[in-house]
Structure 1
């Protein structure tokens, strides 16, 4: 049977002053398929979907929908044509109810008034049909990110949906929520809906992708059937390098024990004991919700310590506040760069300078700040994390996720530390940027620092770590090293409810 092309682009090009964001890209989407767009940050993925979504217009090239050439003037225009996009940044109004968000601009009326009862009833029916367990009367701000994503998707069903574009849909979801989303995607495919799916999580592609198109530097490198390729080939297409070149070989010279937890208890974590050594990368693996982040947030004083003991360089810091732990030499990089890590309203230079000043760089005994010294050190750090000079004076909110993560890493080096805890260090980051960040981890460990890598990306933990702790159900279920650090054994301990350490 001949395939049906829902969407087709030919020679799609977008130029900005001095920048060729998209260069003559040919792309097509068939009815009832998941077509993944894969590429590094800046490869052109967002530019391409912004034109399909009606948020942007091409400089050259054509877009056709069901064989008919179209030119969208707005997102609403594309939605009326049956193309709906769920962007990384949701368009929901947090203070409205779920039903009010779904019907914003489509409100059912009773005379001159909005019919709220009909709105709630219709929202309930839509959730029932889509199998989304959400209360239409709930305030949107009270929902989890996964539930908010479900609300965004539900908004697409006002009209005749034929194309759904999902931009990094699983970046903040638990494994159970990912399973639900993938089940929903499968049901859409059965209805003949075409899905364009953007993700850096290459391990997801085997589960849902029919085809993958790889973009690099604004150009299409190629389109392959997922059944005929693998992760290694896709990474090489995307970066021009083999996957073995992404992860560095980190020398292992374990030194003194710099920090310990003994029987540490916090919300969601039971009686955890561990050691962190100088010159070693300690990997922390586990399913989302296993307690791996909460354990180290408790060590940092960011979560309540309900029992047990924490030491840092031989000193008892069980009751010490976070600021004291930072000052004593233990640094924590948050997995949520927007909420906890960065000031989005300030430039990259300002974000780096803030941590430098807090660490005492350029600050005299009288409290005066030598800004020339601070700026020079900020530039040195920006060079170190490979942040391009053109991005340094820009607001962090205007940078790609990968460049935001480089700024976040740069802030680590504004204050002297002996232990660096990186919590989901490459979330939403492409392979090229990952490689740069992995080299920083290598340099820290080989300089005698202790590095902890907490990650839901199992290949990342396996390839970077000298020693691993696996968490399951709030307990450390295994401590592995050497030949024990293989995927099959780690996955087995993901579901171990007994716990290796009591």
Structure 2
């Protein structure tokens, strides 16, 4: 952080009111040149509202916003960009049908006469990604990218804008350790150029590596701003939640010699080069790997969401290779997708309606002559909401208006609508705070100890390590390691990220 006395950003007494909700209540925040300032708080604390005001999404109801000592009022996101503010939000702003290069240069396309110089655009994008260390084919359309690759493209687009103020909202949520290290290098280089960075993350372990200060919000109010070394992670979580959280990762009892529920043999699919896995009842199988390693595609292919080129999938002793996803659901498999908004939830529907969808075929929801009973369905859904800790007054609200943590709880809730035998959680805690994480981890513990088979696919290495009884590591479309007990450690896992051969048993 430089010694400049004039902040890049000075927000004073910021209040934002929506109909019936005060999202921010007199919050003040400053950002200095060459500083990484973390915004920390639970989902719904007001972080996204604050950065939305800074980035021109909407104006504050009260309070002042100053940039470089001058009062400003942004009319739009484009207006904020003209003033040197670039934001990478959790919800991406990329055009899915356009290529990576076209998205990078959108609005600033190089010209050859009256025409767009696509060659220059491609070469410029390739150089940008090479400098950033992001391996992406810039000719690919955004819709064909994984969520992590889209995240990398958003970050590259923001860097390309040469902004003086960079906002990163959960930038590592879909990145693995390697991509995160690359991002941190980019952040440090930006700091050295005097760029101020507002950084939102729930991954406390990241703060000591890049942050200078941390501002904590709770229920729309400023709790305090501290130096990065001023508080322990435990104290920081307690400051965020207003209560003690003794344990984030629970100890999960393992069922010995559980039956094999799902068996995958020689599976080949796009990006998957031949995989063998057994999933057993009463255990948590962790799945780790870099972006593009095949860790998610394997499971999507296994449950019918991607085509299988070769190999077999057996569920409870029956061959289900090439079976449609509906059959897997009917046979007791619940798959939680990594992107809750595009795949998991009906955003225009209420929270209750979303949870209802998971319980429609439950016998207890039937009334006279087998017809669906709204009263019985409501009783079931209310019970699920209590189980996943969704407040009653949220049930009638459009789920799009809920915080990311409560949306994720509702997505988990859909999995409790029926009695499934196998739960596959693909990035189960993307973009949710530590308090919500702890609650979701307790649900995973509850499922495994009830004898269910649980698969946790995660780019968050501490999450995968601490929840797993057994952990498989993917590299280049194959399993490069299968670990248990003390062998599940960071050094071994990171080495396996770059190994293309699975060691002999």
- TM-score, normalization by structure 1: 0.85
Structure 2 CA distance for partners of 1:78 and 1:352, relative to 1, 3 Å: same
Q: How many residues align?
A: 496
Structure 2 CA distance for partners of 1:97 and 1:276, relative to 1, 3 Å: closer
Given that residues 42 and 435 in structure 2 are in contact (C-alpha distance below 8 angstroms), is that contact kept between their aligned partners in structure 1? yes
Deviating more after overlay: 12-21 vs 132-141: 132-141
Kindly state the Cα deviation for residue 78 of structure 1 after the two structures are TM-superposed: 3.0
Match of 2:256 in 1: 254
Q: 1:149 aligns with which of 140, 147, 154?
A: 154
5+ residue gaps, structure 1, are none
> What is the CA–CA distance in structure 2 between the aligned matches of 1:271 and 1:139, rounded to whole Å?
26
Q: 1:48 aligns with which of 34, 47, 50?
A: 50
Match of 1:79 in 2: 81
Q: 1:356 and 2:355 equivalent?
A: no
Deviating more after overlay: 210-219 vs 430-439: 210-219
Q: 1:466 aligns with which of 436, 451, 469?
A: 469
Given that residues 291 and 474 in structure 1 are in contact (C-alpha distance below 8 angstroms), is that contact kept between their aligned partners in structure 2? yes
Given that residues 109 and 117 in structure 2 are in contact (C-alpha distance below 8 angstroms), is that contact kept between their aligned partners in structure 1? no
Structure 2 CA distance for partners of 1:272 and 1:108, relative to 1, 3 Å: closer
Which deviations, in whole Å up to 9, do the C-alpha atoms of 1:233-267 show, x marking residues without a partner? 43343234566422223233335314242533222
Q: 1:185 and 2:187 equivalent?
A: yes
- TM-score, normalization by structure 2: 0.85
Deviating more after overlay: 135-144 vs 30-39: 135-144
Match of 1:491 in 2: 494
Structure 2 CA distance for partners of 1:265 and 1:135, relative to 1, 3 Å: closer
> What is the CA–CA distance in structure 1 between the aligned matches of 2:289 and 2:142, rounded to whole Å?
29
> What is the CA–CA distance in structure 2 between the aligned matches of 1:204 and 1:373, rounded to whole Å?
46
Kindly state the Cα deviation for residue 29 of structure 1 after the two structures are TM-superposed: 0.7
Deviating more after overlay: 324-333 vs 179-188: 179-188
Q: 1:265 and 2:264 equivalent?
A: no
Given that residues 40 and 238 in structure 1 are in contact (C-alpha distance below 8 angstroms), is that contact kept between their aligned partners in structure 2? yes
Structure 2 CA distance for partners of 1:241 and 1:47, relative to 1, 3 Å: same
Which deviations, in whole Å up to 9, do the C-alpha atoms of 1:128-165 show, x marking residues without a partner? 578579999986656651464156426744xxx42122
> What is the CA–CA distance in structure 1 between the aligned matches of 2:42 and 2:457, rounded to whole Å?
22
Given that residues 53 and 59 in structure 2 are in contact (C-alpha distance below 8 angstroms), is that contact kept between their aligned partners in structure 1? yes
Q: 1:57 and 2:59 equivalent?
A: yes
Match of 2:296 in 1: 293
> What is the CA–CA distance in structure 1 between the aligned matches of 2:308 and 2:118, rounded to whole Å?
45
Tell me the secondary structure at the aligned position of residue 49 of structure 2: helix
Q: 1:165 aligns with which of 164, 167, 173?
A: 167
Match of 2:315 in 1: 312
Given that residues 266 and 276 in structure 2 are in contact (C-alpha distance below 8 angstroms), is that contact kept between their aligned partners in structure 1? yes
Q: 1:329 and 2:335 equivalent?
A: no
Match of 1:116 in 2: 115
Match of 2:282 in 1: 279
Kindly state the Cα deviation for residue 42 of structure 1 after the two structures are TM-superposed: 0.8
Tell me the secondary structure at the aligned position of residue 359 of structure 2: helix
Given that residues 105 and 121 in structure 2 are in contact (C-alpha distance below 8 angstroms), is that contact kept between their aligned partners in structure 1? no
Match of 1:442 in 2: 445
> What is the CA–CA distance in structure 2 between the aligned matches of 1:135 and 1:424, rounded to whole Å?
24
Given that residues 289 and 459 in structure 2 are in contact (C-alpha distance below 8 angstroms), is that contact kept between their aligned partners in structure 1? yes
> What is the CA–CA distance in structure 1 between the aligned matches of 2:503 and 2:137, rounded to whole Å?
40
Structure 2 CA distance for partners of 1:128 and 1:500, relative to 1, 3 Å: closer
Match of 2:220 in 1: 218
Q: 1:384 and 2:387 equivalent?
A: yes
Tell me the secondary structure at the aligned position of residue 245 of structure 1: coil
